[in-house]
């Protein structure tokens, strides 16, 4: 018989809980609500909300004039708000407070870096094209450098002007270890660098606890949507602590050959993974013969 434990720290972060709660509240009295982009990077949860009337729109152009749109926790650039006003679209703004503070910090840094003849550089450690990162870059009209990893930074480092000051920020869901590596590379090259600690505290604190959880079980099932940036970071973390880590989207993807009689199985997930999905996977493992 397998012993199964769900990681108590896994499940939706506060920002995602807030956005989904607001969406469900609105849809309890209305037939349709548009979400600007996926409200959460989890296919199973998206399907559940679609059944309630949530429609994902890639842009405001897909929303009829006068419609109602939810801005998800990832946040949006100023241009989105301006377009909504011009098209008489009502916004339910569920931008995560952590993201909003980060957006404000980037605007303030840009103003400092371009005051009194300076031509400094705002750098964002994050995934190119990620919704949160697009919102951050939009705060400064696109005039920010996005770096995904150390190799990407090394490839472009000779094009940077180290005679000018720099300020660096991280996407809120990135790895603290990778962020430190990026910053150290810049310091090594003599950058006049101000480092901002912008990784969400809830995400950052999970790394050490999740690594301990992963190493305390024989097998780890990491449950996450395919498009979750946080899921990629945390599943890699689990795999570094336990080589028998399997990334799954649902219980349907389980393979009985992964398990041996009497083993301990840990079930965990991303900040975009709902608790009900973790429970489904755990129940499916317990039912294996």
Report, as residue numbers or ranges, the catalytic residues. Answer: 132
User: Do the Cβ atoms of 171 and 132 come closer than 8 Å?
Assistant: yes
State the Cα–Cα distance between residues 53 and 68, nearest whole angstrom. Answer: 12
Measured between alpha carbons, how far apart are the two ends of the chain, in Å?
A: 8
Of 287, 265, 281, nearest to 5 by C-alpha is 265
User: Do the Cβ atoms of 227 and 38 come closer than 8 Å?
Assistant: yes
Question: For residue 237, what are its two tokens?
Answer: 């973390």
CA dihedral of 220, 223, 224, 225, whole degrees rounded to 10: 130
Give the single-character DSSP code of 64.
P
Query: Which helix H or strand E contains 27, and what residues bound it?
Result: helix 14-27
State the Cα–Cα distance between residues 45 and 277, nearest whole angstrom. Answer: 8
User: Do the Cβ atoms of 244 and 216 come closer than 8 Å?
Assistant: no
Question: For residue 243, what are its two tokens?
Answer: 């080589």
User: Do the Cβ atoms of 63 and 55 come closer than 8 Å?
Assistant: no
């Amino acid at each position: 018989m397998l012993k199964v434990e769900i990681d108590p720290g896994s499940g939706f972060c506060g920002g995602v809980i807030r956005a989904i709660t607001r969406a469900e509240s609105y849809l309890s009295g209305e037939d349709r609500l548009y979400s600007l982009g996926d409200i959460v990077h989890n296919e199973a949860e998206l399907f559940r909300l679609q059944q309630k009337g949530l429609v994902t729109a890639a842009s405001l152009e897909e929303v009829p004039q006068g419609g109602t749109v939810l801005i998800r926790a990832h946040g949006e650039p100023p241009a989105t708000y301006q377009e909504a006003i011009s098209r008489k679209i009502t916004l339910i703004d569920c931008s995560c407070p952590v993201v909003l503070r980060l957006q404000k910090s980037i605007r303030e840094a840009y103003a400092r870096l371009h005051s009194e003849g300076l031509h400094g550089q705002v750098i964002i450690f994050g995934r190119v094209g990620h919704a949160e990162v697009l919102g951050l870059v939009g705060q400064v009209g696109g005039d920010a450098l996005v770096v995904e990893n150390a190799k990407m930074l090394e490839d472009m480092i000779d094009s940077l002007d180290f005679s000018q000051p720099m300020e660096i920020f991280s996407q809120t869901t990135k790895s603290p270890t990778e962020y430190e590596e990026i910053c150290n590379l810049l310091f090594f090259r003599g950058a006049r660098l101000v480092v901002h600690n912008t990784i969400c505290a809830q995400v950052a604190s999970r790394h050490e606890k999740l690594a301990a959880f992963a190493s305390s079980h024989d097998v780890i099932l990491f449950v996450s949507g395919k498009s979750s940036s946080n899921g990629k970071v945390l599943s890699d973390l689990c795999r570094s602590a336990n080589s028998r880590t399997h990334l799954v989207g649902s219980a349907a993807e389980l393979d009985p050959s992964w398990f041996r009689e009497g083993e301990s199985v840990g079930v965990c997930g991303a900040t975009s993974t709902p608790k009900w999905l973790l429970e489904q996977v755990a129940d499916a493992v317990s039912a294996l013969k």
